[in-house]
Amino acid sequence: MKELAGRLTALDPDAGAAVRVIAYFDRLAEHRAGLEALVRGAAVLAGCPARLADAGRRVHLRVDTDGRRRDTDQPPDPAWPSAPLAPDGAPALWLERTGTPTVVDAVVLERAAAAIRLVLDRTRGRAPAARADDPALVETLLDATAPEPVRLHAARSLGLDPTAPARVIAPSDGPPRILPTEPDAPPRAHGRQPSADLTHPHPPGRAGVGPAVPVLDLPASWAAARTALRFTAEGTPHSPGPRIVYADQLGGIGLLAELVVPGADPPPDVQALEAAVADAPWMLATLHAVASTASLRSAAVEVNVHHSTLQDRLGHAEVLLGWPVRTPQGRLRLQLALTLRHLGRV
């Protein structure tokens, strides 16, 4: 899709931008993004505040161009570009600007409205079923825009104690899962697992794990879990790194996720890293070992080569990268480049 958008942009900038919008909202829908994330996407892509107002389902939220939610009681201007959430329905999604809508505006409204309609149909369109693994109940509980009584009802229907903390798991493939936890319990990678499949702490593949919070704060844990997911890898030579990442162990590194837009042009250090990785099949695993172990000897053991062989490899890598990786500053630069490479994945 990224390559297609690039080719279309060369022929028709509006068409290329439209394809990027479609791909963006498809990714959000695939990862079951919530209402606020969808409205935020509309605001950022359109370059103006976006507003969702569905009186029938008591949904009102507004996101500014900086991505921050800033709700208002002021009614929408009928002159703003808008879209309904259902055929022949009243306008419910607005882009707050006047003038003739652009092609990009129209695509943003159409794709965002379609994605929002799916979320509302799942979470507000019917009464929650009394099933402990009902994904609609989970999504309702994780929707910060849902009324508090509705979310508490969903929590109880899922068998959760509203007074006990829980954390959210964001798998790379599949719906979110909620894991009850003990108060002040540290994150763990192994141990006794809850019996319910819904709270299974280790879904297949990659997963981000949000912090333990009160049940009504689970939307924040869900957002943090999705951020943590972006820092995961497959744990293979072609994608080295941890499969499970805990948001509360990221610290300040988690701020990098706010700076990197998936699919955007990578920064120069990541471009240099990609060129180096393409040069030799051992390159990525070797550089990851250097960046993630305590010493070069530990890195040599990690990739199963002699210390002198590792030194030769690093000399070759440094020529391709354009900076040293055996100094503290160069190692930090390598760690950042590897992390930014993960975050830039579509």
pLDDT, position 192: 33
Residue with structure tokens 């060369």?
10
Q: What's the CATH code, domain 260-343?
A: 1.10.10
Q: Where are the alpha helices (DSSP H) in the chain?
A: 2-11, 13-30, 35-46, 103-123, 135-141, 148-157, 218-229, 268-279, 283-292, 296-303, 307-321, 328-343
Q: What is the CA radius of gyration of the chain?
A: 23
In contact, 34 and 145? CB cutoff 8 Å: yes
Dihedral (CA of 285, 290, 294, 295) sign: positive
| Least confidently predicted of 140-149, 178-187, 248-257, 289-298 | 178-187
In contact, 101 and 86? CB cutoff 8 Å: no
DSSP code of residue 58: T
Mean pLDDT for 163-168 is 91
Q: Who has greater pLDDT, 85 or 134?
A: 85
User: What does the alpha-carbon distance between residue 307 and residue 301 come to, in Å, rounded to a whole number?
Assistant: 8
User: What does the alpha-carbon distance between residue 316 and residue 286 come to, in Å, rounded to a whole number?
Assistant: 11
User: What does the alpha-carbon distance between residue 192 and residue 230 come to, in Å, rounded to a whole number?
Assistant: 26
pLDDT, position 163: 85
pLDDT, position 16: 66
In contact, 46 and 108? CB cutoff 8 Å: yes
Q: Where are the domains of the chain?
A: 2-123, 135-184+197-235, 260-343
**According to the per-residue pLDDT averaged within each range, which of 1-15, 77-91, 184-198, 286-300 is highest?**
286-300
pLDDT, position 74: 86
Give me the percent of the chain exceeding a pLDDT of 90: 51
Whether 191 has a pLDDT exceeding 50, the answer reads: no
pLDDT, position 125: 58
In contact, 94 and 74? CB cutoff 8 Å: no
pTM: 0.60
Confidence of residue 24 (pLDDT cuts 50, 70, 90): confident
User: What does the alpha-carbon distance between residue 208 and residue 223 come to, in Å, rounded to a whole number?
Assistant: 10
User: What does the alpha-carbon distance between residue 131 and residue 157 come to, in Å, rounded to a whole number?
Assistant: 7
Mean pLDDT for 39-55 is 91
In contact, 189 and 211? CB cutoff 8 Å: no
Confidence of residue 124 (pLDDT cuts 50, 70, 90): low
pLDDT, position 195: 30
pLDDT, position 67: 87
Mean pLDDT of the chain: 84
User: What does the alpha-carbon distance between residue 150 and residue 152 come to, in Å, rounded to a whole number?
Assistant: 5
* C-beta pairs of 135-142 under 8 Å, 24+ apart in sequence: 135/175, 138/175, 138/176, 138/177, 138/178, 138/198, 139/32, 139/34, 139/175, 139/176, 141/178, 141/215, 141/218, 142/34, 142/168, 142/176, 142/218, 142/219, 142/222
| Count helices and strands in the chain by DSSP H and E runs | 12, 8
The Cβ of residue 216 has, within 10 Å, a number of other Cβ atoms equal to 14
224-234 confidence digits (pLDDT tens): 999 999 999 99
pLDDT, position 289: 95
Mean pLDDT for 17-25 is 84
Nearest partner of 258 among 293, 223, 287, judged by Cα: 223
